[in-house]
Amino acid sequence: MTSPTQTEPPFVPLRHKGWASKRTPLWVFAVVVVLAVGTVVLSLNHQPSSSERASDLRTYFGDVTTGIGSCAAGVRGSETAYDQVLRGDTAQAKTAVSIFNYGGSNCTVAGSEPVNDFANYQVAESLDSLNLDTADNDIITWGFDANTVQTDMVAVVNAATPAARASAEATLTSAVGTMNQERSTIDAIWNAAKKATGSGAAFTNLPVWTPPSS
């Protein structure tokens, strides 16, 4: 008995069609390009006026005072206390040491929130050419120098022998010289910025000091 012949329908490949994509009109791309170019042109053409830069510099100096002002005030307090002890008011030595330690801690990124905040400060774009970023780094360095100075004050006041005191005083004098030099560098940048902008704004008066000898 012969089996019936099996026939299969011819193979027809399936055609996969996705949804027709909607093409973005060319005019949309043209508008985007025009807007982008216009933004760039405006940013290039806009130059801050002298009054804007002077105002921004005044704001900057205010922000500097907020950041480092408590440190500077602490240094002045420590200088006054140190002078009093070395001029014979030894009864205040313990109090003076407390002042030195507190003032020093107010001058570091780790010990002072205002100083820590200022370490991340961004200068206004209108002042970019005035090297104020460099001055800001120098301010943080000045704070560390001020911390060292006040630590050295403690060593002088606590010295147990004349030789130890003389050695501590020499170390303090060197540290004060470093701090004062940093201050001169900062002042030079700030004075140049004031001249460039025509600003009459006062900037933070970082103390300059010459320690007395015992």
Domain extent listing, the chain: 52-121+131-197
Alpha-carbon separation of residue 122 from 30, 38, 117, 133, 214 (angstroms)? 36, 27, 10, 8, 44
Q: Which residue has the tokens 């570091």?
A: 108
Sign of CA dihedral 115, 157, 208, 78: positive
Cα–chain center distance at 92: 36
**Rounded percentage of the chain residues whose pLDDT exceeds 70:** 79
Quick check: 56 and 127 in contact, CB under 8 A?
yes
- Find all residues with CB under 8 Å of 183, minimum gap 6, and list them: 142, 206, 207, 208
- Rounded to two decimals, what is the model's pTM? 0.77
Cα distances from 96 to residues 77, 118, 157, 158, in angstroms, run 9, 28, 8, 10
pLDDT digits (tens, 9 = 90+) for 21-68: 556 666 555 544 546 544 444 444 558 888 999 999 999 999 999 999
The pLDDT tens digits for 87-118 are 988 889 999 999 999 999 999 999 999 999 99
